[in-house]
Chains A and B, each alone.
Chain A
């Protein structure tokens, strides 16, 4: 089976990894790099649990071949908290009780991060649209929507 040697940046760290040709980015993260925060919910690009940032854009990592990631910058849920300090997005999810089983959470956080990076003050409709590909079976979404709004205002305050 053909193998690929990849050089990429994962959560800020230069990384080299060898993967079989058919491996997805999701498989590479979970099985080769032991970054298991990114979840496998359907392996078909339908649930969003595996959402990660690839060069700043949110992608379903189960739908991206690992070999396409040579030279890319990948950021996963593990990159959000820095120096034992939760990101304001993560804090907001605690405050609005937006975490239940936690399996969709990493993907939702990444979609939120991507939204706020490109649109720091989203409307409710924009928030709903940004996370529409992240299925959640526990929360009913309203607490997540609240958390996203809250983290948007916290980020805005931090920048003032």
Chain B
């Protein structure tokens, strides 16, 4: 037997579970040396063709005619495609969009025609040679107006669109979803309140601005198959949606996703990839690259949709919140790949992280002639919390209660009754609140750095659930190699959030091998990789993590059963530690590399047992129920809520109105930090991204035209703006169905940042500004208005 005995005891096999370790990122070296491949880096040789898209210059218009003849005559132009031959619809929850517009354009930037040429320059030249005759229509540029019967209809055919059964469009209006909460009796509750406040907040459109613009290369082969290399969060959803829109089988569409240079939601679902595919279908056999310019990136993929939120909140004299009424008007834009579900998510989370017995919420997704609203880190929660968490502060002040104490009384605890009627699972929200308040030095004023400066502190809480269909699934495989190392097959995308690293940690810990024995089978390729719904909703560590753990357990069982049979031992006495199978009973040990491919010989040269080991695993939540369409009540609306708190200290310059975030504290409960350093990296980066949207960012839209589509005119936070210090605090109250107890943490750190900063500005100046960004100009004018400066 190929068994070596170990001397003297099993103490030489200490457990080396890498879960909870700050394992180095598996992608770091590639990314630091320039070796990491992003989509635009792929080499296709001289046969590569280049595409450009002709876009609507109008916010709302009928297409009367398109003449492509001049463009087609330009030397170097290989094909021009319009929507004429592509009647199919695209859409994740509500199929409302053609690949190229057919009869109508609905926003400035809507794709009207695609040009395929031998070079990008020729394609660019041909853009001006497409003659499109439009008949302009009245547009809708405000969601509150858009929801009224007077507004022009943007989608007259909405009644015919295919829609998911939990989305409720109102045909004959611009309302693409209306989600309602009717819980308790708000009318009666207002009478019991000793303080009530009512506020309206407006949140502008912002853009994800991943540093990597969208890029896609498509090739259509003569056998009817399509291959798409794309910078995407959703290879499998792209396969599914593009196949459906083209009337193809999902097997005929292959999507390959390399490293993604930042997504934040902008690369979820399908945007420019479907046009790239039909452009390639005009020139079979040749790859066509479509790469968005930075300007196109700003308004032709997804934007974070605008919001008008009307919030009414009341409490009794002890500070207990009794009632809440919300009206959310989401500016969904021209189409609604995700907007309808942002609307739903904000509805079923509409109390914020508080227990409120009486709630009435109406959350509307409204078509407008603005850029297409999509998912953005937090999926509606940053926008929604911006108002709610300011109301919480104001209500506490109104009844003379400390704002942290007010939150402590009302925030969700285990067993609290949620807005949808179910009960809260174990949560560390109260600990997050206390730790954040302590770390920021709540209640203590610090000295400003100069006579014309004012300081203030602000705090906000948050909650967020993964927003997804109830049955969004994950799968994984774990294959062992001759050297005993693991190759982990997965379908989730590495966007920077560190999913490959924590996947490797979980696989290593489950199977019993060192962290650096794990390799990730990347790039994700729908032809070879196991199914994953999408890399969105902060769901991978939890959902894909479960699938990986199950796959590693399956491989582990195959190995242990095999060795137990060979050693004639009980599998319960065996373990895999540090890459060796060991027996606690016989104290024998054997390296995985001697087992996992070739199996083991039977006694006396009488044959072999075993064979190459491949473990498989899957995960899908099975317990999410529907909600009553009239009341929004149900048994279990979501899989779980990640909760947390943020606190900031700001200094405002009275001479300029400039707001500087000096310090930030983030305390979140992610159940279990699989990799604490990477968790802290999410908390730091999320806070600064949230700060950027609070202080600098916002679309300047005029009749549907974006006036600031560049980094000069649309400023994001730079190294000069980052706070001096961010303290990231990990709270771990385990998730019952999470791998190692983990929940997601990717999106959450930017959810409470706008209100935390708004509350700090109010603390410093006594001023509230209803619409971010809290730019120097706005703050200065507000100070002038208030008489703080003259």
- Interface residues of A, Cβ cutoff 8 Å to B: 30, 34-44, 46-47, 49, 76-78, 80-81, 86, 90, 93-94, 97, 99-106, 109, 127-129, 131-145
Contact = CB atoms under 8 A, between A and B. Distances in A.
22 contacts: A41-B213, A42-B213, A44-B710, A44-B711, A44-B712, A46-B710, A76-B34, A86-B29, A99-B27, A100-B681, A101-B212, A104-B211, A105-B31, A106-B34, A127-B719, A133-B718, A135-B711, A135-B716, A137-B689, A140-B686, A140-B717, A141-B722
B29 A142 contact: no
Contacts, number: 168
B201 interface: no
Contacts of B299: none
Given A42-B711, A137-B689, A144-B719, A101 B496 contact: yes
B294 interface: yes
A141 to B, nearest CB: 4
A115 B574 CA distance: 55
B711 to A, nearest CB: 4
Contacts of A136: 211, 719
Q: Would you list the 3 A-B pairs with minimal beta carbon distance, nearest first?
A: A37-B34, A101-B496, A103-B261
B33 A80 contact: yes
B719 A145 contact: yes
A7 B712 CA distance: 34
Interface stretch (B38-46, B533-541, B551-559, B640-648): B38-46
Interface string B304-346: 0000000000000000000000000000000000000000000
B28 A94 contact: yes
A137 B262 contact: yes
Contact of A101 (B37, B213, B261, B716): B261
Nearest to A22: B121
A138 B30 CA distance: 17
A140 B497 contact: no
The residue among B25, B33, B677, B722 with the most chain A CB atoms within 10 A of its own CB is: B33
Contacts of B498: 100
Contacts of B100: none
What range describes how many residues of B lie at the interface? Answer: 35 or more
B726 interface: yes
A136 B210 CA distance: 8
Contact of A100 (B209, B685, B710): B685
The residue among A40, A47, A106, A137 with the most chain B CB atoms within 10 A of its own CB is: A137
B716 A140 contact: no
Contacts of A137: 208-211, 262, 264, 689, 716
Given A81-B33, A132-B720, 10 more contacts: A34-B43, A39-B212, A77-B34, A94-B24, A97-B678, A103-B261, A131-B719, A132-B719, A140-B717, A145-B719
B35 interface: yes
Interface in B208-256: 208-213
Nearest to B38: A103
Given A77-B34, A129-B720, A41 B294 contact: yes
Contact of A102 (B36, B263, B684, B712): B36
A138 B496 contact: yes
Given A42-B711, A43-B294, A138 B685 contact: yes
B32 interface: yes
A140 B718 contact: no
A28 B419 CA distance: 57
A41 B720 contact: no
Given A41-B294, A129-B720, A140 B687 contact: yes
Interface string B261-282: 1111000000000000000000
Given A39-B212, A43-B294, A102-B261, A143 B31 contact: no
A90 B31 CA distance: 10
A93 B31 CA distance: 10
A109 B32 contact: yes
Contacts of A90: 29, 32-33
Given A101-B262, A132-B718, A35 B34 contact: yes
B656 interface: no
A40 B34 CA distance: 13
A93 B28 contact: yes
Contacts of B24: 94
Contact of A139 (B25, B28, B34, B684): B684
B34 A101 contact: no
A39 B262 CA distance: 13
B211 A142 contact: no
A137 B209 CA distance: 7
Nearest to A87: B32
Contacts of B28: 93-94, 99
A102 B33 CA distance: 10
A106 B212 CA distance: 13
Given A90-B32, A144-B719, A97 B680 contact: yes
A158 to B, nearest CB: 18
Given A93-B32, A101-B212, A138-B496, A39 B261 contact: yes
A42 B294 contact: yes
B688 interface: yes
Nearest to A109: B32
Contact of B211 (A93, A103, A144): A103
B712 to A, nearest CB: 6
A15 B724 CA distance: 44
A22 to B, nearest CB: 8
Given A42-B294, A140-B722, A145-B719, A100 B496 contact: yes
B211 A99 contact: no
A37 B35 contact: yes
A137 B294 CA distance: 14
A127 B722 CA distance: 12
Nearest to A37: B34
Contacts of B495: 101
B259 interface: yes
B677 A97 contact: yes
B513 interface: no
A106 to B, nearest CB: 5
The residue among B34, B677, B684, B712 with the most chain A CB atoms within 10 A of its own CB is: B34
The residue among B29, B211, B497, B717 with the most chain A CB atoms within 10 A of its own CB is: B211
Contact of A86 (B33, B40, B211, B687): B33
A36 B210 contact: no
A142 B34 contact: no
B32 A94 contact: yes
A141 B723 CA distance: 9
A59 B8 CA distance: 62
B293 interface: yes
The residue among A34, A46, A101, A103 with the most chain B CB atoms within 10 A of its own CB is: A101
B451 to A, nearest CB: 22
Given A41-B211, A47-B211, A78 B34 contact: yes
